[in-house]
A and B are shown apart, each in its own frame.
Chain A
């Protein structure tokens, strides 16, 4: 496999999923995403991205846990795969490198 490229939104979804720990399924990830990023996101976008990431092999999923409030339908739990973790780490390393290349004081910190 060659270097892979993640879209920005894909990356955010992966990161949120990584932060969720166990038992992450669509609704949880969607809520977390909105909280962490402060954006308003449609649930369909989250679903599409999750499935797509799964197809690309960054995530794996399992069905399980039907509950009453879901009309007896099972949840799909997502987890990061090794490939997914690697992709995130690669991106972070690259970002780190880029940040270090910026001379001190070049970016005026605004706010606190």
Chain B
């Protein structure tokens, strides 16, 4: 700032110094002079009008308004900038021409990106669905399940089962912490009847606050619908299926063919991504208590766990605080002897049910969340592979476009304009790819939902979704376009136009590095898929301890229970079945465990808890277990009513050398061990079988297992079975499940992971190969003359094929070397989650490497053989 000191009298008023300095520093030099002059002039005028202080204040204020990018811009532009989007249109026009000029290249780019984006979008939708699990419930963040840790057999187990007194106790003693406490039954199938029409529906028994806690959206009736024990609330779909268009309110139904209940409410069906989605009818807990009178008369109401407890924390109470406050709710009610199990009650918040549902040794160890992370990362990687294709193909074509860049620069393009031009191209491709990807997602959602067991919908209506899509396009375009844009716009026009422009020796290195990255990811996915598949097979081939074929599990109805022996005799007489038995736990689950065991030499402080199944005499014969020592139950021995058969795991657990004939005390009654049988894998196929016992009890069979005659076709046998069943139980839906299907469902979670990762691996390979295909075609094109000369000098097709494919094969081999340790590390980590796991063998890596190499060679060979077969006369004539 130059002030003409001699012209200005000292009495001259001065604007504030800081403001002038600010202007000097901020405003572009070519604007500074006239702008400050104007300000000064106004300032002097204002001094005479409003006085110095006010004028100075105004001056400062006015200066602040100049702090915008517009005034900061340094470059005076000699040319008028177009006042419309002319240039943008021009960029897009050129981009579009480039796109249509080279169709193979564009198809590869758009196709690859579309697949990558579709995968990323599908995974994004899936992750969103996982995270929004249970958010249908308004009080989602305040609801929890009351769970318990218990220490038995030296391990801390966490369970959801609670005594029926848990709810009332929480209300009585810890009421200030909770808004609602809801005791509930296990969800199960219940028979509803209108007259002689019986249907079976999935339902649950809730204490009256249940509907309010879940914030059900009532279509009819109110949250108070469970006050009367003889009432029922229906979901909309059930109401429709039962009553059609009639108004269901106040209508009478029969539940379990015993109790007449009135419909007191209809609620909107719960969406698929909620934990209670299967609950289609809700009945009062009071009715469950009426149906199970033994609960009221229990000697030790805290002694056994057979129901669930849910709670909603009061508004001003933190979930963690409530959780620590209630920890001794059960312990306070137990005798010293029962307290050995060290019961600790705690709250498991609804927000963690889906993603953090696993406990180990009393700690929450996550769960499904690891798959959310895994697939999220896979999604990002697959998208990245597609972006890498774009970059590689764009830079590989650089020699073609070098001339264009040179001429543009010579004519007077600024680098930023070229960058914009290339970005416009990448955004055009990304936008087109996005459109294709949306189509793909719409096509793939139904099968994807099938595999992932979801009901995900495309979120057309959510503005947030579209905003994310825009951001998604923006980021993808940026990632895919930035490298080519800056690389291509950096060419020196002089060397390009002189013809001295050569792509440097190192120009291909970043491309090669990116190809290595692509194949590394692909190979990791291949290895992962193989290992997951192996692990599933490994678990499937595990000995299960019984003969799975031809076993059927039947639901138990009262009539069958009451005439069990007659029913069994009739079935056998009709030749429908080989054998039949009842048990308290099915073959594919553990429904009850017991403590209270004692044996010679047991440490009195040791708390134990074993699966203990009540069975009928023919159980062993029916399931086909293998008796390893001693003998099976038999009706010949009256003493078998107080005998145990134990499994091999139990034999390991007990201190006796040969347990047969030894005495086990249970609830202070002596039982003789008469046999040891093979371990029956009833629970997870990935964990060891628990020490278990079996004893005879014909009064409480909750499950019926039937072995069909091997000689007859199952469908014939089942028809006969149903006929006889109908004689005993008319009008009730005949429900049965084959045991091998129940068994198969144990692998669902792992199989889902396996299937999904297989798909993603295939897609990753597909995208990578697309890229390689494009690259190979460019390289073949670039080296046309070289190939021609080599042919003339006598190179064979084989030599040329080697020449062109060698580089790619090398890259894939490098990728294998990088991928193997990474894959090994992560898979070892994943397998650690399973006690029963497969060993990772070296040949898996070899197979993955050979597979990747084979696919690569196939892809590249097409191009290289095509190039090698060209007639050299044609390629050399143009000089």
Q: Interface on A for B, CB 8 Å cutoff?
A: 1-2, 4-5, 25-27, 30, 42-45, 47-48, 51-52, 55-57, 63, 66-76
Contacts and interface: CB of A to CB of B under 8 A. Distances in A.
B95 to A, nearest CB: 20
Interface in B42-74: 42, 44, 62, 65-66, 68, 70-71
Which of B41, B44, B71, B81: most chain A CB closer than 10 A?
B41
Given A4-B83, A48-B68, A57-B80, A70 B37 contact: yes
A49 B81 CA distance: 14
Contacts of A2: 84, 86
Nearest to B70: A48
Contacts of B84: 2, 4-5
B841 interface: no
Interface stretch (B3-11, B156-164, B633-641, B823-831): B3-11
11 contacts: A1-B82, A2-B86, A5-B83, A48-B68, A48-B71, A55-B81, A63-B34, A69-B44, A70-B37, A70-B38, A73-B34
B77 interface: yes
B65 A27 contact: no
A68 B8 contact: yes
Contact of A44 (B4, B62, B81): B62
B37 A73 contact: yes
B726 interface: no
Contacts of B38: 25-27, 30, 43, 47, 70, 75
Contacts of B77: 55
Contacts of A74: 33-34, 37
Contact of B8 (A42, A44, A71, A76): A71
Contacts of A66: 37
Nearest to A83: B80
A43 B71 contact: no
B542 interface: no
Contacts of B39: 43
B37 A75 contact: yes
A42 B42 contact: no
B35 A47 contact: yes
A84 to B, nearest CB: 11
Most chain B CB within a 10 A radius of its CB, from A1, A4, A55, A68 = A55
B31 interface: yes
B40 interface: yes
A55 B35 contact: no
A41 B51 CA distance: 21
Contacts of B7: 68, 72
Most chain A CB neighbours (cut-off 10 Å) among B38, B42, B68: B38
Contacts of B83: 4-5, 56
A52 B70 CA distance: 9
Q: Among the interface residues A43, A45, A48, A63, which one has the most CB atoms of the partner chain B within 10 A? A: A43
Contact of B65 (A26, A45, A57, A71): A45
A57 B81 CA distance: 8
Interface in B1-43: 2-4, 7-8, 31, 33-42
Contacts of A42: 62, 65
Given A48-B70, A55-B77, A71 B42 contact: no
B86 A71 contact: no
A108 to B, nearest CB: 37
Contacts of A76: 34
Given A63-B34, A71-B3, 10 more contacts: A5-B84, A43-B38, A43-B65, A44-B62, A47-B66, A47-B71, A56-B81, A57-B80, A73-B37, A76-B34
Nearest to B38: A26
A11 to B, nearest CB: 13
B44, B66, B83 pick with most chain A CB within 10 angstroms:
B83
A73 B68 contact: no
Given A55-B81, A70-B41, A73-B33, A44 B86 contact: no
Interface string B387-426: 0000000000000000000000000000000000000000
Interface string B79-122: 01111101000000000000000000000000000000000000
Contacts of A63: 33-34
A25 B34 contact: yes
A87 B608 CA distance: 93
Contact of B2 (A48, A57, A72): A72
A51 B84 CA distance: 17
A47 B35 CA distance: 8
Given A71-B3, A76-B34, A43 B42 contact: yes
Nearest to A29: B38
Contact of A72 (B3, B44, B80): B3
**Residue among A2, A44, A70, A71 with the highest chain B CB neighbour number at 10 A:** A71
Contacts of B44: 69
Nearest to A64: B34
A72 B7 CA distance: 9
Contacts of A52: 70
B41 A44 contact: no
Nearest to B2: A72
Most buried by B among A5, A25, A45, A72: A72
Nearest to A81: B80
Contacts of B8: 68, 71
B93 to A, nearest CB: 14
A46 to B, nearest CB: 9
A2 B144 CA distance: 65
A76 B44 CA distance: 18
Nearest to A66: B37
Nearest to A2: B84
Interchain residue pairs A-B with the least CB separation, the first 6: A73-B37, A76-B34, A44-B65, A57-B80, A26-B38, A70-B37
Interface in B129-171: none
A51 B36 CA distance: 14
Nearest to A63: B34
A59 B126 CA distance: 57
A44 B7 CA distance: 27
B20 to A, nearest CB: 10
A26 B40 CA distance: 11
Contacts of B82: 1
B38 to A, nearest CB: 4
Nearest to A72: B4
B4 A27 contact: no
A2 B81 CA distance: 13
Contacts of B42: 27, 30, 43
Contacts of A73: 33-34, 36-37, 40
A30 B62 CA distance: 13
B78 to A, nearest CB: 10
Contacts of B41: 27, 67, 69-70
B81 A75 contact: no
Contacts of B80: 55-57
B75 to A, nearest CB: 11
B71 A69 contact: no
B79 to A, nearest CB: 9
Contact of B34 (A30, A48, A72, A75): A75
